[in-house]
Amino acid sequence: MGKYNFDQLIDRHGSGAMKVDSLNEFFGRDDLLGLWIADMDFAVSPRIREALSRRIEHPVYGYAGAPQSYWDSITGWLARRHNWNVKREEITYIPGVVKGIALAINFFTQRGDKVVIQPPVYHPFRMVTEGNDRVVVNNPLIFDGESYRMDLEGLERIFRDEHPKMMILCNPHNPVGIQWSVDVLQEVARLAKKYGVTVVSDEIHADLMLYGKPHFPFASVSPEAAEVSITLGAPSKTFNIAGLVSSWCVVKNPKLREPFFHWLMVNEFDAPTFIATIGTEAAYTQGEDWLDEMLEYIEGTIAEVEEIVAEKLPDIKVIRPEASFLVWLDCRGLCMSHDELIKLFVNKAHLALNDGAMFGAEGSGFMRLNIGSPRSVIRYSLESLADALASVCAE
Ligand SMILES: Cc1ncc(COP(=O)(O)O)c(C=O)c1O
């Protein structure tokens, strides 16, 4: 047993956690086990909690600045964990990665402009684009039944024929768990530069690489990638602190960065709360051992999921993630309609997973399982699913 107890069951009811307190709103009933929205049920590192508690104890909660040590903690982390050199002036605070995408869309594109996404992909990419009256152009990933790859020919066709202004890259890619290779990222960058497309690279899952695999920050793979990209990241997924609302944005190219950062600054979109800066600094400077242990725990849970599914749910295929605590389940072998699949999970097994179709039509027949919970919970959920399936088959 390590230093931290990821087996600990923590009751999150009444804490305002969407995962458990918003079930009715999203699933139409409360009696479900929450395995959906991408946060974890693990206790946050004691170092982060102590840093926040110390500040909360101070009786004055006035306007907060961002000290140099906060910026150093982010750039130090990116250099240490991802071998990526980022200068102070290349980085700013943003109030969330989805909000960062929204800000970039609003700043760099106009109404009616086209934005490329690659479904199945994190659904706010589409919602934010369409919600701002921009037009989504899909370049779906290619699935060969075992793994996914990017359709680079499709991407070039779209860049050439549809003249999009922006592409939203998910690196690593939620929900299929892929870290894109350097070759693929270099090709995306080459195409983006050739056709004048700005690439927003969402790297929120970057710190959650599994099995010792490296993450490749898009902006680091070539001079073209640095030139065309806006990178968004955060300690939120990494350290289970999404509720602190702390994210960052890196732009290497001064021609993109200077006007964008100026606009963020005059509108005060780059003004953090003290909770954000203190939580982030504590995470990046003192949270590393917690993270490494947590990732090991997740790897062990994936092995158990694979084992239980192979034994009790053989018609479901587990797509093993290279990154993060989200497991993409190919449920098409159950030969159910997508509606029947959702009824099986929600009404019969009482499990709240993300419905694969929310990530795009390509996700129909798939479900996304959040395994950021104690293993006993994940075991119980898969056993409940197997029992529910047996009861449906017996009907
Ligand atoms: C790819 C991706 N981007 C962004 C987010 C959300 O980030 P934020 O809460 O900072 O908007 C998530 C959360 O699941 C995600 O998976």
| CATH of the domain spanning 49-286, picked from 3.40.640.10, 3.30.1490.20, 3.20.20.70, 1.10.357.10 | 3.40.640.10
Q: Which amino acid is at 219?
A: A
DSSP structure string for 256-313: HHHHHHHHHHHTTTT---HHHHHHHHHHHHH-HHHHHHHHHHHHHHHHHHHHHHHHH-
Q: Work out the angle between the directed axes of helices 97-108 and 254-266 (0-180°, nearest 10).
A: 110
Closest C-alpha among 110, 103, 106, 109 to residue 269: 103
Query: Residue 34, SS3?
Result: strand
Plot region of 212 (φ>0 → left; ψ -120 to 50 → alpha; else → beta): left
Residue-range domain boundaries for the chain = 18-45+288-394, 49-286
Ligand 1 pocket check for 203: Cβ under 6 Å: no
Q: What is the reported pLDDT for 394?
A: 78
| Residue 1 pLDDT grade (very low, low, confident, very high; cuts 50, 70, 90) | low
pLDDT at 395 over 80: no
Q: What is the CATH number of domain 18-45+288-394?
A: 3.90.1150.10
Q: What is the pLDDT of residues 53-93, one digit of tens each?
A: 999 999 999 999 999 999 999 999 999 999 999 999 999 99
Ligand 1 pocket test, pick from 35, 39, 40, 98 with the greatest ligand atom count within 8 Å of Cβ, gives 98
Ligand 1 pocket check for 241: Cβ under 6 Å: no
Q: CA–CA separation, 393 vs 334, rounded Å? A: 10
Q: For residues 7 and 41, is the Cβ–Cβ distance under 8 A?
A: no
Task: State the average pLDDT over residues 173-183.
Answer: 98
Atom of ligand 1 nearest to the CA of 234: 10
Nearest CA to ligand 1 atom 9: 96
First to last CA, the chain: 44
Q: What is the pLDDT of residues 209-252, one digit of tens each?
A: 999 999 999 999 999 999 999 999 999 999 999 999 999 999 99
Q: What is the pLDDT of residues 90-123, one digit of tens each?
A: 999 999 999 999 999 999 999 999 999 999 999 9
DSSP structure string for 136-185: EEE-PPEE-SS-EE--HHHHHHHHHHH--SEEEEESSBTTTTBPPPHHHH
Q: Do 49-286 and 18-45+288-394 fall under one CATH topology?
A: no
Residues 6+ apart with CB under 8 A from 102: 128, 132
Q: What is the pLDDT of residues 277-298, one digit of tens each?
A: 999 999 999 999 999 999 999 9
